[in-house]
Structure 1
Amino acid sequence: MGLLCLDLLVNSCSEVTRDEPANQLMLFIVQDISILLNLIIVLLMLFNTYVFQVGLVSVLLERFRVLLMVGVAYLTFSMTLHCWLMNLRWFNTDRYVWTDGLQVLFMLHRTASVLYYYYYKRTAECLGDPRLYEDSPWLQDIFSRTRHQQH
């Protein structure tokens, strides 16, 4: 959750540092690394579940697919937006540079960020479910259905 708060802080305050491009670049690098670390943390949490250990990876991917897709899209939008902003503003810190394409990308980035925060928090809560970490009737039912589909 700390990395999500850091990401939100950078999204909120990155324009304040636009007069100093090196500082803004460092903020963007920290933000992109935090998004990547968040995705790695979710994957590690998925790998530690009993569901993963018994081989029902498809169940986990089906359940948490939206977060993984939104997370990858958000990381892509972030990196693209940051590169574009740095390219346009590095030597023009005194000018207001904001193209139509940059506005569209900015809107996509901010929309993806809201979805990313929501699904990441929801996934963190879902991963706290004890049924994912122990054998249970729910898991045995899914396992038997999976075996019947394969035969």
Structure 2
Amino acid sequence: MLFNTYVFQVGLVSVLLERFRALLMFSMLYLIFSITLHCWLMNLRWFNTNTYIWTDGLQVLFMLHRTASVLYYYFYKRTAECLGDPRLYEDSPWLQDIFSRIRQQGSFFNNQQH
């Protein structure tokens, strides 16, 4: 959905990344915890399928994974609601203001190089 916004299409990806930074961070955190938890479980149970193995470290990782999942789903729902904002899909004064500020900063840095 981020790619369909007008903000993305005019090249202001940094605005989207800044606005949805929390979702991106928790998405990566949740992905890392998920991969780690499932790899650890597969390694523990691969050769010992008939026994129940649950270590203290696995329990800590499981709790971290579940906590991250709550935060991930919260930010996911909040982002879905924010993406319904019509200002992201059309040209608006706040977007023109951001675009002009970025353009002024770019011209400032270009003048510094010469």
Specify every segment of 5 or more residues in structure 2 that has no aligned partner in the other structure, as ranges. Answer: 109-114
Q: Percent sequence identity over matched residues?
A: 86
Aligned-residue offset at 1:54: 0.9
The one-letter code matched in structure 2 to 1:140 is Q
**Equivalence for 2:17:** 61
Task: Name which structure has the greater RCO, CA cutoff 8 Å, separation 6+.
Answer: 2
TM-score by length of 2: 0.86
Q: CA RMSD in A?
A: 1.3
Paired residue secondary structure (2:20): helix
- State the distance in 1 between where 2:7 and 2:83 align: 11
**Equivalence for 2:3:** 47
TM-score by length of 1: 0.66
Structure 1 residue runs of 4+, over 6 Å off? none
The superposition leaves residues 83-121 of structure 1 with CA deviations (integer Å, 9 ceiling, x where unpaired) of 111211233344331112211211111111001000000
Number of residue pairs the alignment of both structures matches? 107
Specify every segment of 5 or more residues in structure 1 that has no aligned partner in the other structure, as ranges. Answer: 1-44
- State the distance in 2 between where 1:68 and 1:90 align: 32
The one-letter code matched in structure 1 to 2:85 is D
